[in-house]
Amino acid sequence: MTLDLATRKAAQPHFHTLLLESPFHERLAALDKTNDWYGWAGHKAPHALDDEELEYFAIRSTAAVFDISPMTKYRITGPGAVAFLDRLTVRNVAKLGINRVHYTAWCDDHGHVLDDGTLFRLGESEFRLCCQERHLPWLLDSAEGFAVDIREETGEVAGLALQGPTSYAILKEAGFAGVEALKPFQIGGFAHEGCTVTISRTGFTGDLGYELFVPRALALSLWDRLFEAGKFLGIRAIGYTALNRARIEAGFIVANADFMTAETALRGNRLRLPDEIGLDWMIDLEKPNFNGRRAIMAARAGKTLKHILVGMEIDGNVPPEHALVYHNKRREVGIVTAAIWSPLAKRNIAIASLERPYGERIQDGLWVEIYALRELQYQKLMKRARIVPRPFVTLARRSANPPGLF
C-alpha cells in the first residue's frame, strides 16, 4: 500500500510543529525584537527578546521573567513516593520537608549522572521533579515494587521564573499575600483566578527570586498579573543568554553544557559520576540503596574518579569559553565548560572540567589557552587560572528573611 504525501503528513502530526510553543508564547512573541529563538526540549524559547545586557541587568537590578515551561516536569504521587525517590535520586528525600524544594541528581547503575534537577515536595507523598532531559521509561522501570504513580506533566503546567531584587516587591504588589513568609527553597500555594499558583522561593540566578507554576490555561493571566504589578518595578522578560550569565555567577551547572548526561553522551569517557561534576555533597550513603550507590562507593574506594569540576578565575577580561586548560602551560588537563566576564564580580570567571589530580591534589600552575578571534585573526592568549570556590557571587538578598522590598 502506498500513501500519498498528504495522507502521510496528516498521519504524523508531530512533524507539523517542529518546535512547540510555550503557554506564554503569545506574550513572548509580542515583546520579541530579536527573533532569536532556539529549541529547548522541543519548545521554542528565546535566546534574547531584546538587548542581552538589559536583560542581564534586569536580573541583577530589577526583576526578570524567564519562561521555564519547557522544563521537563514529572508528577510523582503515592504512598511509596518517598521511598521511590530515595531509590531514584542520590539525596535523602526523607529529609526534604513538605513544601520544600531541593536540588538533586540521579544516576544509572554505573553511577553515571543521568540528569540533575529540582525536586518539589508538594505534600506528604506528592512531588514534582523538574529536569532537562526526558526520563519516563527510566522512572517507570525504577518504580517497580513501589506504590507510586508517575506522570509527565510538562505540557500541562506553565512555569515562570521571576528573579531579581524587586521580585518580591512585584509579588506583593500583585497581591500574593503571605509570600513574604517563603524562605529560600520553600513552597506556598496562592490564589489565582479561582485556582492555585504554586510559588517557590527558588531560581537559577543566585538572586532573590521565585518560581511560579500554574495550570496551562492560566498562563497568560498569570503573566499579565505579574507584568501589571511590575510596571513600575522594572519587570522585563528575558531570554536564555542573560539567564546563563547569572547562573554562571551563581556557580550552577547545566546538563549537557557543563557535563554530558549519561544517555546523551556517545563517548564512554564523557560519562560522569556525581563526584566528577561537583555533586558529591548530595550523596547520602546512609539511606537505603539508590541507583549508582555501589558504583560511586567503588569509585571512591578504588580511587578511580577521573574528573573534577571546578570554579576558576582567569586573568584578563576575555572569557575563555571552551578553552583548553593546561598545567604549566604544557600539559593539557581539561576544558572550560562555561565562562563569562562577570559584571557583578568584575572578574573573568569560568567553570571547568579537569582531569584529576589536577584541580584536586594539584591546584596551582593552571593556565587557559584562549583563541580570541579578532576580525578574522586569532589572538592566542595564555592566561593564568586560579581555582576558586563556587558560587562566584553571593548575594545577601537571595536568602534574606523577610525578603527585601527593593
Extract the annotated binding site. Answer: 211
127 is an interface residue for another protein by CB under 8 A = no
Query: Which range of residues in 64-72, 137-145, 207-215, 335-343 is near another protein by CB under 8 A?
Result: 137-145
Binds another protein by CB under 8 A, chosen from 108, 126, 284, 313: 108
3-state secondary structure of 86: helix
Q: ∠ at Cα 229 (223, 230), nearest 5°?
A: 85
57 is an interface residue for another protein by CB under 8 A = no
Number of residues that bind another protein (CB under 8 A): 23
The least distance separating another protein from the CB of residue 298, rounded to whole angstroms, comes to: 10
Query: Which range of residues in 83-91, 93-101, 178-186, 239-247 is near another protein by CB under 8 A?
Result: 83-91
Which residues fall within 8 angstroms of residue 288, CB to CB, at 6 or more apart?
Answer: 83, 86, 87
Query: Which range of residues in 26-34, 108-116, 122-130, 247-255 is near another protein by CB under 8 A?
Result: 108-116
Binds another protein by CB under 8 A, chosen from 57, 84, 127, 252: 84
The least distance separating another protein from the CB of residue 134, rounded to whole angstroms, comes to: 16
Query: Which range of residues in 58-66, 81-89, 247-255, 396-404 is near another protein by CB under 8 A?
Result: 81-89
Q: Cα 291 vs. chain centroid, distance in angstroms?
A: 22
DSSP state letter for 305:
-
301 is an interface residue for another protein by CB under 8 A = no
**Binding site for substrate: residue ranges?**
211
**Strands 235-237 and 63-67, bridge-based pairing:** parallel
Binds another protein by CB under 8 A, chosen from 27, 75, 192, 293: 293
Q: State the number of CA atoms in the 13 A half-sphere of 81 facing the CB.
A: 22
115 is an interface residue for another protein by CB under 8 A = no
Which residues fall within 8 angstroms of residue 192, CB to CB, at 6 or more apart?
Answer: 214, 218, 221, 222, 225
The least distance separating another protein from the CB of residue 175, rounded to whole angstroms, comes to: 44
The least distance separating another protein from the CB of residue 112, rounded to whole angstroms, comes to: 10
Consecutive H or E run containing 240: helix 240-250
The answer to whether the CB of 164 falls within 8 A of the CB of 59 is yes
142 is an interface residue for another protein by CB under 8 A = yes
* Burial group, residue 389, by CB count within 10 angstroms (0-12, 13-18, 19+): exposed
Q: Which residue has cell 587560572? A: 385
Residues that bind another protein (CB under 8 A): 80, 83-84, 86-87, 108-110, 138, 141-142, 144-146, 285-286, 288-294
